[in-house]
Amino acid sequence: VACKHGNPCGVGSADNILDAWEKAFEADKISIYGGIVVVNREISLELAERMKKVFLEVVVAPSYEEEALKLLQTKKNVRLLELKDIDVPQPEDAYDLKKVNGGLIVQTIDSKLLIEDSLQVVTDRAPSKEELEDLKFAWKVVKYVKSNGIALAKNKQSIGIGPGQVNRVWATKQAIEHSLELIHEDATKGAVLASDAFFPFDDCVEAAHQAGITAIIQPGGSIRDEDSIKKCNEYGIAMVFTGMRHFKH
Q: What is the pTM of this model?
A: 0.93
Residue 249 pLDDT class (50, 70, 90 cuts): confident
Judge whether residue 135 has pLDDT over 90.
yes
Q: Are 207 and 77 a contacting pair, CB within 8 Å?
A: no
Percent residues over pLDDT 90 in the chain: 86
Output Rg (C-alpha) for the chain, integer angstroms: 19
Beta strands 2-4 and 7-10: pairing type?
antiparallel
What is the per-residue pLDDT for 182?
86
E runs forming strands in 67-197: 79-82, 95-100, 103-108, 120-121, 150-153, 158-162, 192-195
